[in-house]
Chain A
Amino acid sequence: MAAAATVETAALTGALWGLVQDFVMGQQEGPADQVAADVKSGSYTVLQVVEALGSSLENPEPRTRARGIQLLSQVLLQCHSLLLEKEVVHLILFYENRLKDHHLVIPSVLQGLRALSLCVALPSGLAVSVLKAIFQEVHVQSLPQVDRHTVYSIITNFMQTREEELKGLGADFTFGFIQVMDGEKDPRNLLVAFRIVHDLISRDYSLGPFVEELFEVTSCYFPIDFTPPPNDPHGIQREDLILSLRAVLASTPRFAEFLLPLLIEKVDSEILSAKLDSLQTLNACCAGYGQKELKDFLPSLWSSIRREVFQTASERVEAEGLAALHSLTACLSRSVLRADAEDLLDSFLSNILQDCRHHLCEPDMKLVWPSAKLLQAAAGASARAYDHITSNVLPLLLEQFHKHSQSNQRRTILEMILGFLKLQQKWSYEDKDQRPLSGFKDQLCSLVFMALTDPSTQLQLVGIRTLTVLGAQPDLLSSGDLELAVGHLYRLSFLEEDSQSCRVAALEASGTLATLYPVAFSSYLVPKLAEELHIGESDLTRGDGPTKCSRHLCCMQALSAVSTHPSIVKETLPLLLQHLWQVNKGNMVAQSSEVIAVCQSLQQVAEKCQQDLESCWYFHQTAIPCLLALAVQASMPEKEPSVLRKVLLEDDVLAAMVSVIGTATTHLSPELAAQSVACIVPLFLDGNVSFLPENSFPSRFQPFQDGPSGQRRLVALLMAFVCSLPRNVEIPQLNQLMRELLELSCCQSCPFSSTAAAKCFAGLLNKHPAGQQLDEFLQLAGDKMEAGLGSGPYRSQAFTLLLWVTKALVLRYHPLSSCLTARLMGLLSDPELGPAAADGFSLLMSDCTDVLTRAGHAEVRIMFRQRFFTDNVPTLVQGFHAAPQDVKPNYLKGLSHVLNRLPKPVLLPELPTLLSLLLEALSCPDSVVQLSTLSCLQPLLLEAPQVMSLHVDTLVTKFLNLSSSPSMAVRIAALQCMHALTRLPTPVLLPYKPQVIRALAKPLDDKKRLVRKEAVSARGEWFLLGSPGS
């Protein structure tokens, strides 16, 4: 046994010897990994490896020694966790000693030390000893990049695990590191080195007398000027270096005395990036600085920032300048002072005021806005700064407003006031009298009211915004002010056509203020609107139809706009519903537009009620029975058909009611929804009208029977309701309902009813839990569709059903969806339904507004478009190639719809395979395909210029051809693509430049202005290509 073991050991040792020989003398790389693997598996120990290496480690030829140490180091890198403490001590001694060796040996030695620095078994004291040895023996900056990187790694490793020990070295460690990194040039190493300096400072290592040296050795890289080489495999961006250097420079106030002069110098330079970097660094520094650090530099900092904001041509520099000023002021505001010290904040702000104040008095001049922005940036930094600045500036601006009489000057002044008022919202004041605005309240109000009555729309708009901001200050406005304000808002809500923007702003302001002051709006505004609405209702004889109508419209919009508070909704909703009844009673000339307008207002009220459960139920319970009663009433058969009532059954009126009902249903709680569904489903299935107001109808309501066709149309309202219910609400008589819907969807009725039935069926199907009942419904639907699609009068109805059912299933990833999609694709070559099938893809991919919406609790998987794309586009492409010439456009159109709706990031990787097809689609005579393809290619040109530039020749030709298409939309899209083409690499485009510029001269004379506009911008960009200054 023993003999066998010895033989085995001998054999192993022999193998090890062989491997070592192959590596050291044979210059093969493979054996190193083999040896490491064997050590890991326990075949032999590190000690045996060292013994096997023996002579190579002492060989007089430095190359051989290097090779030997390299092998040992590589083994250690993989096996450092196996080392025992005793072994580590010996190895460290060995390696430290080798640092004195020939320079050829050093890289391998450093690798070994790196392996040992990772060692958990390293006894204390050795880390310091290793670092000392490196600092002493190695001149790091004369090593190649990789080896310098190894040194940084060793230091980083020790800093992570031996922090206390290294701190024991005191400032010597800092000094040693300064020498190591002094002169570093490689960006990869700099990132690590900056990280080390940052840790030195943030983990509180002793810097001793070396603060300035440490600052010098890092700040010499500021501002970073590095452009990564093209195809850089290391992926280091300029921004990475900037941020890590900034973290170092801004990490300690002890750098302030050296850093601030440097930053000022760089802000004053001519280089844009240096300005930006300096301002951003200053901004970062302010987080850690105090008054002491800033004191001596404030005047210079201010004058540099002021100059940049006053004179710069770059918005980014301006923004960074303002941000830096904001931080400086915040920093000065924050500092805790000794009792006897001077508060620098006051003198700093006085300086700013002194330099900016006078510009505020020249509202026409260029510097007025930069000055206002500077003051606002400082005022926004703290409550103290705000008080100081506004107490100076607000009286001045108020006075200036009265001094200047032109509307545009007043607008500039009021807009500046508004800016200061907005800043106030950042601080809450405990005591009412402390608020800096209280003293100016009356003046501000009178100013705002002057603005609201000014003839200039622009001034009015600013006035409205200012009023909103004043109103948002708690307890500022008195009830007298509010009454006046509401009066103005009432007047502005009825402005004429040409000042729509003002009217819209006034409505929005009313909504915002009504949530804060519901009583004021209930008592001053709602009664006035109610009165206005009644004027027309009772008076049929007045001949001023159009004006009355538009006043009604304004009234209703105002009513819905202020319905932002539950107590107001209780007053406005009855008014709107009452108005709808009046319309239906025939007291006035009812136009569908009027009914639609009421519905739109109701819809807005419903949206505003959604967040509040109580309001939501109030709205649902009040509005929905009323709307249904009106519709049922209108659908009753009559001896003398009245034109007036039929208005309610028109397509677009019903559509408007659908969206009210949907909006009023989606946010119901399941319990309340269940109450409602128990009334509404029986109404449609059994004609149970008992819950409707004024329900004495002349005959029964039987929408699913062979009643009057008008009744069937109301299925749309049922759809709006049941398809918006939360998913867990159980629908009574579901089985019967689904069968009736299916029946109606394929009967010979008007397309509106059958489509509504198909959508309702699909909507319910989408939400129905998987299981036997769902499969039954699907089976029924499948049979119905196949029967209808075969031939006969119901083909198009059956197709609509197929489309909606497919959509319902695609959205929820139902397994049957692929089957139905395949059926749909089959119809693309159908002579009759082909074009409709192509358009069907648009419906499948787009978001509906009434059914199958996420808001209506439908099951919509987020990636359904991507999935549909992956599953079906290959088949579509295949189908296209196989299809006969006359139906090819259907495939292209279907494809265009799918691609158009796909998120562009998903489309980009698929582009190479699809591009040839898209290019072919550009030659398709169908303008819908052309348009869709162009709008698909345009973003791709912007986002994937490299791929697209391979096809530049085709693209230029086809786009130019399409720029003379008979369709205006196509011409516009083609020219936009010509514009987007300029994003391709310039060298690719230059050969085409003369040809394109000549060709684009033609659309410059297009008869349509919108086309000319695109031609001008495209041609302008082509002119700039490869031209100096662009």
Chain B
Amino acid sequence: MMGGGGVGGGLLENANPLIYERSGERPVTAGEEDEQVPDSIDAREIFDLIRSINDPEHPLTLEELNVVEQVRVQVSDPESTVAVAFTPTIPHCSMATLIGLSIKVKLLRSLPQRFKMDVHITPGTHASEHAVNKQLADKERVAAALENTHLLEVVNQCLSARS
């Protein structure tokens, strides 16, 4: 269902993309070091989870390509909801589904089960926005995609720490 080809070798779709600065490590506050104070899950924490995901094409992170931004993360810890909007670098980017899938898998692996998560394309930034959103929202299709060895391999590469 999801096209994951075109990785490695061959010409890049967008060889010289705009790149953005990486935000630094989140500074540790006194409150975070205090045993008693609970720290709620906030937008920055979610953003930290996904900003270092590797782009399937470039040796760059989603943050450096501005595919994900902290302002496009909505989170409510008490209501256990997360919504992440991501912006493909070009409107015809064939990697959009794969990027969305990587974000989704990263959140599934990193957030408590109580969270309901929604990963979608920033409105108006991709030619087949609705089709992609529909695929990402469909639990069964996501699960089926991860059964596909080739797709899982690409997703894992996106999620591996950079060597």
Contacts and interface: CB of A to CB of B under 8 A. Distances in A.
The 3 A-B pairs at the shortest CB distance, nearest first, are namely A1029-B153, A1029-B156, A1005-B112
A286 to B, nearest CB: 27
B17 interface: yes
A968 B35 contact: yes
Contact of A1028 (B15, B35, B153): B153
Nearest to B77: A1005
Interface in A265-298: 270
Contacts of A270: 9
Contacts of B21: 408, 458
Nearest to A408: B21
Given A1008-B39, A1009-B39, A1010-B28, A1029 B160 contact: yes
A1017 to B, nearest CB: 8
B17 A1009 contact: no
Nearest to A362: B16
A308 to B, nearest CB: 12
A20 B18 CA distance: 84
Given A365-B17, A1023-B109, 16 more contacts: A313-B59, A315-B59, A366-B16, A366-B18, A367-B15, A458-B21, A968-B35, A1007-B38, A1016-B109, A1019-B110, A1020-B106, A1020-B109, A1029-B153, A1030-B156, A1030-B157, A1030-B160
B17 A314 contact: no
A645 interface: no
Interface of A: 270, 310-315, 359, 362, 364-367, 408, 458, 967-968, 1001, 1004-1005, 1007-1010, 1012-1013, 1016, 1019-1020, 1023-1024, 1027-1030
Contacts of A1008: 32, 35, 38-39
A968 B35 CA distance: 6
Given A1007-B39, A1010-B32, A1029-B152, A1020 B19 contact: no
B72 interface: no
B7 to A, nearest CB: 10
A1016 B49 contact: yes
B32 A1009 contact: yes
Contact of A1020 (B41, B110, B153): B110
Contact of B110 (A311, A315, A1016, A1030): A1016
A1010 B28 CA distance: 8
Nearest to A310: B15
A359 B149 CA distance: 39
B98 to A, nearest CB: 12
B159 A1010 contact: no
Contacts of A1029: 152-157, 160
A1005 B155 contact: no
Nearest to A1005: B112
Contacts of B160: 1024, 1029-1030
A1004 B41 CA distance: 10
B35 A967 contact: yes
Contacts of B49: 1016
A1010 to B, nearest CB: 6
Interface string B47-83: 0110000000011100000000000000000000000
A38 to B, nearest CB: 62
Contacts of B35: 967-968, 1008
A390 B9 CA distance: 35
A365 B19 contact: yes
B13 to A, nearest CB: 13
B33 interface: yes
Interface string B120-137: 000000000000000000
Contacts of B41: 1009, 1012
Contacts of B16: 359, 362, 365-367
B139 interface: no
B90 interface: no
Interface in B1-49: 9, 12, 15-19, 21, 28, 32-33, 35, 38-39, 41, 45, 48-49
13 contacts: A365-B18, A365-B19, A366-B17, A1008-B32, A1010-B28, A1013-B48, A1019-B109, A1019-B110, A1023-B159, A1024-B156, A1028-B152, A1030-B156, A1030-B157
B111 interface: yes
Contacts of B106: 1020
B60 A366 contact: yes
B32 to A, nearest CB: 5
Contacts of B152: 1027-1029
B106 to A, nearest CB: 8
A364 B59 contact: no
Contacts, number: 84
B112 A1004 contact: yes
A306 B22 CA distance: 25
Contacts of A1005: 112, 114
Given A1009-B39, A1029-B156, A312 B59 contact: yes
Nearest to B29: A1009
Contacts of A315: 59
A1012 B45 contact: yes
Contacts of B12: 311
Nearest to A1024: B156
> Taking each of A1005, A1009, A1027, A1028, which has the highest tally of chain B beta carbons within 10 Å of its own beta carbon?
A1009
B25 to A, nearest CB: 10
A1022 to B, nearest CB: 9
Nearest to B9: A270
Contacts of A1024: 156, 159-160
Contacts of A367: 15-16
A369 to B, nearest CB: 8
A769 to B, nearest CB: 47
Contacts of A968: 35
Nearest to A1011: B39
Contacts of B153: 1028-1029
Given A1016-B110, A1020-B159, A364 B154 contact: no
> Taking each of B28, B49, B114, B159, which has the highest tally of chain A beta carbons within 10 Å of its own beta carbon?
B159
Contacts of A312: 59
> Taking each of A310, A1010, A1020, which has the highest tally of chain B beta carbons within 10 Å of its own beta carbon?
A1020
A1019 B111 CA distance: 10
A1004 B110 contact: yes
A1027 B150 CA distance: 11
B75 to A, nearest CB: 13
Contacts of B149: 1028
B59 A314 contact: yes
B151 to A, nearest CB: 9
A1020 B158 CA distance: 12
Contacts of A310: 15
A312 B17 CA distance: 14
B59 A1001 contact: no
Nearest to A1003: B112
Nearest to B57: A313
A698 B73 CA distance: 69
B155 A1009 contact: no
Contacts of B110: 1004, 1016, 1019-1020
Contacts of A1009: 32, 39, 41, 45
Nearest to A315: B59
A314 B162 CA distance: 10
A458 B156 CA distance: 34
Nearest to B152: A1028
Contacts of B159: 1020, 1023-1024
Nearest to A1008: B39
B110 to A, nearest CB: 4
Contacts of B38: 1007-1008
Contacts of B18: 364-366
B111 to A, nearest CB: 6
A1004 B80 CA distance: 13
B156 A1028 contact: yes
B150 to A, nearest CB: 8
Nearest to A316: B163
B159 to A, nearest CB: 7
A292 to B, nearest CB: 35
